[in-house]
Amino acid sequence: MISMPEWREADTEVHPLWRRTFNQDWTGPDVAAPCPVCGNTGLHRWYLLENARPRKYDGIEFAGRGRLWEWCDSCRTFEHYPDGSVPSWWSAPYGPGIPDPGRTPEAIERARVAAHRRGVQGEPEESSRHAE
Tell me if residue 51 falls in helix, strand or coil.
Answer: strand
Q: Which of 21, 41, 74, 85 binds Zn ion (CB under 5 A)?
A: 74
* Residues in 109-128 that interact with Zn ion by CB under 5 A: none
Q: Does 10 bind Zn ion (CB under 5 A)?
A: no
Q: Does 48 bind Zn ion (CB under 5 A)?
A: no
Handedness of CA 84, 88, 94, 100 (dihedral sign): positive
Q: Which of 10, 31, 37, 48 binds Zn ion (CB under 5 A)?
A: 37
Nearer to Zn ion among residue 75 and residue 111 (C-beta):
75
Cα 7 from Cα 73, distance rounded (Å) = 10
* Contacting residues for 88 by C-beta, under 8 A, at least 6 apart: 54, 61, 62, 63
Q: Does 31 bind Zn ion (CB under 5 A)?
A: no
Q: Does 75 bind Zn ion (CB under 5 A)?
A: yes
Determine how β-strand 77-87 pairs with β-strand 8-9: parallel
* Span of 50-58, 68-76, 93-101, 107-115 interacting with Zn ion by CB under 5 A: 68-76
* Contacting residues for 18 by C-beta, under 8 A, at least 6 apart: 10, 36, 37, 70, 77, 79
Q: Does 98 bind Zn ion (CB under 5 A)?
A: no
Interface contacts to Zn ion, rule CB under 5 A: 35, 37-38, 72, 74-75
